[in-house]
Every structure is written in C-alpha cells, then in structure tokens.
Amino acid sequence: MRLGIAVDSRMCMACYCCFTACKDEHCGFASKLTAAQPMMGQKWIDVREWERGDDSRKIKTATVPTLCAHCADPACAKAAKNGAVYKRDDGIVIIDPVKSKGQRAIVDACPIDAVYWNEELEIPQKCTMCAELLDDPEYLAYLGDPKLKTPRCVESCPNQALIFGDLDDPNSEISKLVARERQTQLEPLAGQETNVKWLNVPTVYLAGTVYHPAELEEVFIGAKVRVEVDGQTFETETNYFGDWEIEWLPKNKDAKITIEAKGYKPVSYTAKTDRDHYVDRTFLSK
Amino acid sequence: MANKLMVQHKFKLNGLYKTPEGKILKVVLSEVYNLRCFESVDGKLVGPMIKIHPESDLANALVEV
Amino acid sequence: MAEKITHSVCVGGPIAIHTEDGVIRRVRPIIFDNNDPKGWVIKARGKEFTPNRKAQPAFIALTEKNRAYSYDRIRYPMIREDFVETPDGQNRNAENRGKSGYRRASWDEVLDLIAREIKRLQAKYGKETITACTGSHHSWGLVGYKLSAFARFFRMLGYTEIKDNPDSWEGFTWGAPHTYGYYWRLGGTEAFDLLEDALQNVETMIMWSHDPDTTRGGYAGNESTMWRHWLDDLGVQFIYIDPYNNFSSVKQADKWFGPRPGTDAALCEGIAHVWLTEGSYDKEYIAKHAHRFDEWADYILGNGVDKTPKTPLWAERETGIPAADIKALARRWATTKTMGGSGLRGGFGGVCRTANGTEFARLMVQLFAMQGMGKPGQNIWVATTGAPMDYNFWFGGYSDPLSQIANQPIADVTAVNSVTQKLYRPNVPDAILDGHYEWYGEGFCGGGIDLEFTENIYPKPGYNKVHMFWRYGGCFMGTMLDTNKWVKMYKSPELEFVINQDIHFHGEARFADVILPACTNLERYDIGELCNSGNGGYQSHSQTGNSWQVVVFQDKAIEPLWDSRSDYWIFNAVAERLGWGADFNEGRTEIDWCKRMWEKSDLCERISWEDFTKKGYYIAPVPENWERHPGFRWFAEGYPCDTPNHKAFQEEGKLGTFTGKFEFVSESLLYYAPNDEARTPIASYKHSWEGHHSIKAKKYPFHLITPHPRFDYHTQHNSSTPWFWEIPENRVYIKGNPYLIARIHPTKAAEKGIKDGDLMLLFNERGSVLCVARVTYRVEENTIHAYGSSGIYNPVKPGETSMDIGGCVNILSPGKLMGSMVPGMAPNSTLLDVCKYEGEIPEGQYFEYKLDKVAKEADPDAETCVEIIEGHGFEKIQAKVKLAYAGKAAK
C-alpha cells in the first residue's frame, strides 16, 4: 500500500477549504505523530497561486495546493540525523517531533519549502497526510465505512482537486486519475518519485488576437496560427473572438509565431517562453 | 406539463375554509402540488401542516368562511 | 476521551462538529454515509452528472471553531467606562463613544439598566423612541436568527423598524420588475431546473459581474462549483464581464472583458445595436412577448430623443472595450444557445450596485428577452441555482413567516409591532443627525411594484424621534455607505442609549454604551436548512443552489463560553425584566421552539424527532424522475406558469408587468414615476453621478469597485480568523494589523510609484483607508479593486473619522442613493485617488487593549488578544474550559 494524494491544479479554484481544514486539525493540537502547528506562520498545505500573463487582454492564474510530497526518497530524511525523519510502510513521511529537535537542516533540505521551522519548539514540522487520524480506528467510525475516511484537506475539497487513495492499487480512484491526467511534477522535484502527484500544473502559454484591418472594426475568425518552439510545431486557429492561445509550451525556449490568413500578408513574431505572454493584437493587411 | 390547476385563483392565501366535517382550515401556502393549511382552533393554528391536493374531493368541498 | 459529534449549519454551509471533554476539537464538512439517499442524476450530452456525496461548505464554515474561541469574542457584559445613567438621558459623554474603554458588568446589572432605560424612554417619548437593527447572517437558524427571536422581541416591545435595503442586488430590485415583473423575487428570475437545461443545451455562459466561486450562490457554500466544472468540461464557453478579472473568471474564463466601471449599460446597448442592425434576435418571440419594442429599437438606432446611435464604437468610447470585440461578443451570444446574467443569487458582483444599476438590470433582461428567454438553453441563469429538488418537501427558510417564532403557527400568538414609524437603513445616520429624512420605498418591495413608491418621512407626523438604538449582529462600518457618518451618528447625544448585542467585538460594538455578549451557533440549540432563505420568500426555493437539500439539527456542541448567552436567552431575560417574559416564551425553551419547526413542517412526516436529533441532519431525497418545471419555459412556450413560486396572473401565462409582457418602454414607470431621472421609461445608459464624466474625476481619477468579499461573509469571518490573514490575496499581517489587499493596474501603479506589496492609501473627500497594493493586470486600468464588507475596522484615532487601517473601504463610498426616487445604494460608484503611503504605521489593533482590560479584570490569568492570535491563548482557553468541564462532570 502506498498512500498518496493527487493534486489536480486544473480543478483547484483556490477556495482555501483545504488550507482551513488543515489549520483546523493541526493548529494548537498535537498528536502522536507531530507537535501542534503554531497558530500562525505555517501552511502545511499552501495554495500557491501565481498570475499568468503580462497584459489585461489575457490573464489567468495557476493554483497549486502544495504540501509535503511524501517523496519516495525524501531529501529531508537524508538531511536528518538519528532517524528524525522516517517513512512509514504506507509511504507517509513523518518528522519525529522529539528526535528532530534543533535540526533546521530538515527544513532547508525540502526542495519545495513544505517543511516549516517552529521557532518556539525548535523543530521542523509539516503535513502528516493526517496519518494520526488514518491510524485511529475510532476516528469517523460512526460513518460505518472506513473508505469514507480521508485526510482533512481531501475531505474538505469541493472541487475534486484533491483525491486520496492507494497508488499501488491500479483500480483506485487516484491511480485512474493519475493515469488519465497530465502528470506535472513540480519543477524542484523533477525526476523524483513522490506520493503526492501534481496534475495539470501549467507551463507557459502564448496568446493573441487577430483582427481585420483596423478601420473595419472586426475580429478575424479562422486565421491560422503556428508556433514553433524547440523543434516542435503547435498549430491553432483564431476563435469567434479572433483569439488564439497555445498552452503547455515547453519553458524557456525561443518561439516563432506565424499568423496567416488567405488573402492577407502573413505576420510573424518572436517570443521567449520564459513566461506566459500575450503576443499582440494583430491587425492583418492585404 | 402545463399547470391546469389555477390554485391561487381558487383559494385565497391566509383565507379560512370550512371542511365538510366542520373543521376550520387556514390556507398558509398554495404551491404546485398542494394547498397547505393548518387547523384553526380559537385563533390558534394547531397540529401539523395539512396538505390537500387542489383537485381532490376535499379541496372541492372546502367552503370559504 | 469522549468524542461527541454534533452538527450545525451556517452561512458557509453545514458542518459536523467534534467536541472532546467540552471543547471543540474540529469542524468538518458532513460526509454522507451509506444510509443517506442517492443524489440526483442528470443525463446530458451522453454523460451522467451526480453530486459529490458530501455537503460542500465554503472555507468560512470551517472556521466556526475559531469564531467560538476567537480573540475578539465579547466575553462579558460590558458598560462604557464613562457612561453615566443620568435621569434625563443627557450628559452621558456620548461624544466619547468609540473612544472610551469598557468595564465588566454582571448580567443582572446590564439587564436592570436596560429595563430601566426602556421604561424611562418609552414613558418620555413613546414606543417609537426605540429603534433596532440586525446585520445579515452573523448566525443561522430559525430560532435564534434575526427574523425570529429578534423580531419576536422587538415586535412585542414596539419599535421604530429599520427597513433593510436589498444591498446585494439593488439594481435588480429597483429596475428589473419594471421590465419583466418578478417583484416578488425582488427582481430576480426563476431558475427552477435550469441546471439540467444548461447541461443539455447551453453553449455560451455570459457571466456578467458575476463571481460564483466568491459569492457562492448566497449561502450555498461550494455546493455548485462542480456544476461549472461540468459545463466547462462539456466545452461550454465562459465569457466573464467585470472590471476585475475575478477569481472564477481568472481560472475558468474563455474570455474576459473588463469594462470601465459603471459603463456596463453602455455595453448592453452596444450589443443590442449589433443585433438590431444585423437582425440577429428572436423576432417571433419579440413580436409575441415584447411591449413597445420598436420605440426602444428606435432609441438604440439613433432615432430617439438623443439622436445617438448606440453603435459598438459609441460603446467602445464609454466602456474601453474595442468595438470589434463588442461585435464578436454580440454575435457569439446571438448565434449560440446562451445563458447568463448578473445581479441575483451569486451574481453580487457589483454592477447592480452602481448609480446606473437599475438601467443595467433592465437592459440585461431585455437582451435575454431578445434571444428568446425561456427556450431551451436560453435563459437568465448563472450556474449557481436550479438543481433538481423535491419541491414537495416543505421546510421553512428564514424569511418564511411560517417558520419564525414571531408568528403563528410556530408561536401560539403572533407578535405585532404597534409602531408604524420607520427608518431606512442606508440613511439612519442622516435621520439621526439631521432629525429629518424622507425617502421612497418599503425596503424589500416584494409585496408589489407600487411599494417602491411608498412615501416615507421621519419622524412620521405625530411621532417622536428615536433616542435609543439597539444594534444586533454584524458591523455596518464595513457594509453601509460613507460609513464615517455612522461614527458621527454614534457620537450624537440624540442617541441617549446605545446597546450592541453581538458575538464579536466588531467595529460598531465599540460605539455602544452597553455591550451584550451573544454566543455562537455552536453554543446553543437551533434548527435550519442549508441555503433555505424561504420557500414563500423573495428567493423562493433557494435550496436549488445546493446539490443536496440538508435540514440540520443545530445541536449545542459546547456550553456558552465566558458569560456569553444565546440571543434568545438575552431577549427573553429582558422581556422578563419588563414583565412579559411568559408572553415572549409561551412556556417554551429553545429546544421546544426547534421541535415546533419540525412539527409544523414536512420534516415530521419524514423522520422522527428522536432520529433527527440523534443523526443531526436529514437529507430530502430527490425522486428519481422528479417533476421538471424549467424556469420561464411556460412563458416562452405560452402555457400557464407551472413553477413552484408562481403568482395568480402567471397562471394566465403573463408576466408581472402592467401589460404582462416584457416592457421595453415601462408602463409602470410611466404611471408611477414619469419624471424619475435615474430610471427613465426607456432603460438607458446614463453618466454616473460619480463616474468618469463627473467633475470630481479630475481630482479623484480612480473608480473603486468593492464587491462582496471572497475571504469573508459580510463582516463575520475575516476579523475572527487570523488564519485568513495569511492568504496572500486577502490581507497582509504587518505589525499586528491585517492590511487589506487593494488592486491596481501596473500602468497606473508605475505612474504613482507604487510597487506590489507597498502600503497604498485610498482616499477621497469622505475618508482614507490604508491598504496593501497588489499590482495586477487583473484590473481594468481606471479601477481600484478592494473587497467590501471588511469585518475589521481600525481607525487610527478610535471614535474619530480618521484613517482606517482595517480595510473598511465603505468609508469611501458615496452616501447618495441611486436616484431621488430609487432608494438603492451604489458603493461601486466611488471615485478616489491613491498614493504610496510612507507615514507611520501603528503597532497592533486599536481596540485590543479594551478587551484585554476587561478580560484581565475578570481573570488576571486571562489570555490577551495577541496571545490568542499569535500565541497559545487558544490552547489556554481550551485547557481552562476542559478543566471546568471535568469539574462539572465530577460533581
């Protein structure tokens, strides 16, 4: 059994239910596995949100709930002395609140800043995947079905953006979701196996709008847009708003954009895919 | 699916109606399915909500008081 | 360790509460077990859709534990330090209200004082001398909430009622009924069964001034978020129109338009111009269902009195949206099945709360009429209502007279107010300070379109002015208009006695002479249904905004903390002091009243009282083949109305306008208000009295929009939950004070020398508010966006109209109503300027010492506010309560 959480960034609306439920469970309350989370300052699940775009014509946000990845080979465990960080049989990574005292290196080792330092107790702290609740046979026993028991963040998510289950079971909901959706490991964890699976975290888009010659005051529907990046070609057409957009571009590359429409002069641009970019309002001419 | 009942035309909201048994009912709601009433005794609305289908025999037998 | 699980429901949704040894351990969403009924299944486009098997509260509901143990809880009855109970009501140091601290008092002392003051004032001035007002939704439940215990007490006492304005959707109330009726729904339309219709048919969603993930369908929590994911997955195109690229838009929009604030009506007219010139509207429908359409069309095409064709280019000049884009929008709307709209039930985005809000609302209705409103896939519907529901299960909502303890059948005797004098909430300070106020309207005019034109005058002839104000719940500093006026009012000796009854020490409580500590929902009994605002009420069957219909026994999870008591207990205690306690309570306890709600509704047929209170909730199942009554279909297809909330004339297939049709020239306005300059018989875009054409714009060039908050519900959660101050899009916690985020466009920020994260002062002639700047392309260039309803009010000079560091931006909004005959408020017609703030900022929040002082007086070991916010105060409180609980158990 390998317990994991799938985080589907596309579904996350940054409603902060997971954040609040996690704080509700851990702030001010210690458990067998962890000391209490301080009332303020730590976010064991942190809804990291960034703006995508450089123009009010096209702007989106990425919303990525970020918690301990419960890595297969945790960097924090390697940095820890005397076994202060351990991995349970179910894959959940736990920091021992006693053994870890004074070990700030455990915080520093985390590639995604998901481990927090408790100044007062001088210990590192992080998400336990609510293992203390999963372990407790009494907890939620009244529901009559152990399957209804999930980590607090998952339980509170209304958007199906957090899915909990056994990654070793190919028929589990989480396994099916991970198999179906675009797996997008967080960049600092690139190449690492983790039990938290981030899905659909965006890379970079390029977008623009195509118009007929300005004096006509008309958008241009159906213009062909081609983006060449890093030897790959992406193609699309302008929609009913004259808009075009290409998502999931490889990052930090040079891009060449060509816009063509029959009977009009082609227009081309260059851009860098280091950030989401609205290329232009393109006015075609004959 | 058209509603042929014309409920609100037939019964006055907050009106008092007498049943054949002599009970006085106060109509507190009229909606698609039901006329909803309470029995009125000495000015108090007693007992549970009474539901009457607007096309039922009972509905047709109600007399406004 | 005994763990007890009880349930409750609040404005954020239903919750399960775990308590251990008398203290709340955690608050969770209700997860349905295998005995709970199956969810409905909607079949559409080859797929099946069914809701998650859990109630889906918003994050605010998950803070109920914090709200109970919050740093700003009012722990004890308190009396203003320098309050003097003079026999004539004068010389009571009223000018120090807001400034002075408090001393702890006993319940007996405050109750006796209140009873003496009521008797003194009533003897001197008559019953009308007392006025009282509730905030909205600081708690939930049919027994303890404002239309129940509060209403029963004050109606029996006799008081000058303060009429609420429909502050969340003003333009719809005051405008839309003149176009299509529905005054009984306060201008909102009927959304019955439109979720299924949308999933099956819709191609385009126009989300105009609508942020469903923020306003959450009113009280429906996150019950509808999955519906929008479903529509999105089906390829439905979402077009958002809002000067702020709001939180729903920025994640889900296929296209965002950010019009200059207050110009949305111009955009409506530009769209209409395209349809009229291109003939792309439903001519057959209009011929059959529209009244005086041609006169309106003439006006749009430039043949009206102003001789100005409302071309897309004309609209571009007003809105800032390119004409080409307006044409594309109009064509997409006309050529695909389109639903959308704005205004009511989750669409509280703000356009309808501008100077031009009535005209926008009317034009919005007219545009949907032009595309055959009511036909499959064509309707006013914004994906926050219209789920399947068992309409034949009746349980009362808070606005149902049938489910209020003030009325029969719940009470044996209905409480009736003997005073007919009234006040109007947005203008209470004007009335008190000027001693005279006149206005049109009856608050919520759901009883008839004529009520909008009721003439009111204060003081009413033959009546005395009010001299005592009893505020109950919430804080108007954050929700009303030009709210420094409220500061001035409270300092006026005209108010001889001010009581504030609340759970938390909100900004307005700090102006009271006597403060009464009410307890939270978790400390008392109540009963209520998720998002049920009343089946006979203004938003009838609002539970269709949920995926599940959940009635909850709001069990008492813990004993009232400190000296707090339930609102019902407080009102009953005062009634007893006044000699009519037995009439007030009719011999019932709070739990007896709860049981009356069960007994007098369909709930008693579905589940026994014992099973209900044991399980804690009941879910009303939707029959597998539920009866469909799609909203407005009856009108489009020409049969008598069959929706659950119908009126008599709808049974004849007519709308609620004078003509029974869509009135493009309003006959009701021609009849009642032919000279109303704000609402002309032909709805039209008009320059705002505070907008970019105003003289004032030369001095205050930015337009503030202040929609309903994402990180709060009214003023209730943000102040009590410091965790929310760690949300970067909400607030920034600096030196003990949480500063509100205000958003500014990068171009303008650069002109002002403001960088992201800088302290930014928002100011105009009405006041100044210090915020933290978020520099973002998500706002239209001329717009400053800062959420309204700040629960935190922290003036740097308490009791004065000074700079606020709490984020109370309503201080800046105009006190003016929408029009001389339109009594709606328009906080989104606010002009202001901004600058980088480089002055001093204080340590902490200004009121904390007042609470700390009283707490320490009562218990030298008491936790201070800062200890509860940042330290172990919360744990200490819990430990003390646990100890007391164990002691009680041992006895």
Give me the percent of chain C exceeding a pLDDT of 90. 89
Instruction: Give yes or no: residues C349 and C447 share one domain.
Output: no
Query: Quick check: is C610 in a domain?
Result: no
The subunits that touch chain A, with at least 3 C-beta pairs less than 8 Å apart, are: C
Can you give the CATH number for the domain in which C326 is found? 3.40.228.10
Say if B36 is an interface residue toward chain C (CB within 8 Å).
yes
User: What's the mean per-residue pLDDT of chain C?
Assistant: 95
DSSP-derived secondary structure for C412-445:
SS--------EEEGGGHHHHHHHS-EEEE--SS-
The size of the A-C interface in CB pairs under 8 A is 160
CB contact under 8 A, C251 and A143: no
Q: Hey, which residues 297-316 in chain C have their CB within 8 Å of chain B?
A: none
pLDDT of residue A229: 97
What's the pLDDT at C536? 66
Between chains, do C648 and B29 touch, taking CB under 8 Å as contact? Answer: no
Range of the domain at C198: 170-388+630-672
Q: Least CB-CB distance to C726: which of A40, A51, A53?
A: A40
Domain that holds residue B46: 18-64
Same-domain check for residues C461 and C438: yes
Q: Is C684 domain-assigned?
A: no
Determine contact: B45 vs chain C, CB below 8 A.
yes
Residue A202: closest CA among chain C residues belongs to which residue? C251
| Residue (of C213, C54, C141, C200) closest to C548 by Cα position | C54
Closest C-chain CA to A56: C777
Given a cut of 90, whether residue C848 has pLDDT beyond it is: no
The residue among C481, C367, C434, C385 whose CA lies nearest residue C827 is C481
Domain membership of residue C54 (yes or no) is no
Strands A232-237 and A267-272: unpaired
- Asked whether residue C368 is assigned to any structural domain, the reply reads yes
Q: Does residue C715 fall inside a structural domain?
A: yes
Q: Name which of C733, C764, C723, C731 is nearest C71 in CA terms.
A: C723
Instruction: Say whether the C–A interface has 3 or more Cβ pairs within 8 Å.
Output: yes
List pLDDT tens digits, range A178-206: 999 999 999 999 999 999 999 999 999 99
Which band of pLDDT confidence, cut at 50, 70 and 90, is reported for residue C856? very high
Evaluate the omega torsion of the peptide bond into residue C409 and state whether it is cis, within 30 degrees of 0.
yes
Q: Under an 8 A CB cutoff, do B44 and C408 touch? A: yes
pLDDT tens by residue, C452-488: 999 999 999 999 999 999 999 999 999 999 999 999 9
Please tell me the distance from the alpha carbon of residue A167 to that of residue A176, in angstroms, as a whole number.
9
Q: Does B40 touch chain C (CB under 8 A)?
A: no
| Statement to judge: residues C381 and C402 lie in one domain | no
Q: Which residues of chain B are within 8 Å of residue C599 when distances are taken between CB atoms?
A: 48
Residues C338, C404: one domain?
A: no
Is the residue at B4 inside a domain?
A: no
User: In degrees, to the nearest 5, what angle opens at C-alpha C350 toward C-alphas C763 and C704?
Assistant: 15
User: In CATH, what number is assigned to the domain containing residue C782?
Assistant: 2.40.40.20
Q: Which candidate from C225, C245, C328 shows the least CB-CB separation from A242? A: C328
Cβ atoms of C723 and C798 within 8 Å: the answer is no
The average pLDDT across A242-250 equals 98
- Tell me if B47 is assigned to some domain: yes
Assess C634–B contact: CB distance below 8 Å, yes or no.
yes
Residues of C marked active site are found at 137, 167, 398
Residues C509, C376 share a domain: no
Q: When comparing pLDDT for C702 and C647, which is higher?
A: C702
Taking the CA of residue C408 and the nearest CA in chain B, the distance in Å comes to: 7
Q: Which domains does chain A possess?
A: 3-199 (3.30.70.20), 204-283 (2.60.40.10)
Q: Say if residue C417 is in the same domain as residue C373.
A: no
Subunit contact C391:B36, Cβ cutoff 8 A: no
Same-domain status, C267 and C337 = yes
A155/C322 CB distance under 8 A: no
- Does one domain contain both C700 and C808? yes
Residue B23 lies in a domain: yes
- Count the domains in chain B: 1
CA-based nearest residue in chain C for residue A221: C328
Percent of chain C with pLDDT over 70: 99
Same domain flag for C635 and C577: no
| pLDDT confidence of residue B3 | 47
User: Does C43 fall in a domain?
Assistant: no
Q: Are the beta carbons of C638 and C284 closer than 8 angstroms? A: no
In a domain, B7, yes or no: no
CB contact under 8 A, A218 and C58: no
pLDDT score recorded for residue C350: 83
Report the neighbours of C using a cutoff of 3 or more CB pairs below 8 angstroms: A, B
Number of domains in chain C: 4
C54 touches chain B (CB under 8 A): no
Domain annotation covers residue B11: no
- Express as a percent the part of chain A with pLDDT over 70: 100
Q: Are C33 and A28 inside 8 Å of each other by CB?
A: no
Whether residue C664 is found in the same domain as residue C706: no
A15 with C222: Cβ contact below 8 A: yes
Distance CA(C443)–CA(C170), nearest Å, equals 11
Contact between chain B and chain A (3 or more Cβ pairs less than 8 Å apart): no
Question: Domain with C466 in it: what CATH number?
Answer: 3.40.50.740
Instruction: For A99-146, write each residue's pLDDT tens digit.
Output: 999 999 999 999 999 999 999 999 999 999 999 999 999 999 999 999
Whether C452 and C375 share a structural domain: no
Residue C59 lies in a domain: no
* Interchain CB distance below 8 Å, C648 and B48: no
3-state SS assignment for residue A49: strand
User: C155 and C106, same structural domain?
Assistant: yes
Q: Which of C62, C247, C869 sits opposite A156 (nearest CB)?
A: C62
**Rounded distance, CA C760 to CA C779, Å?**
16
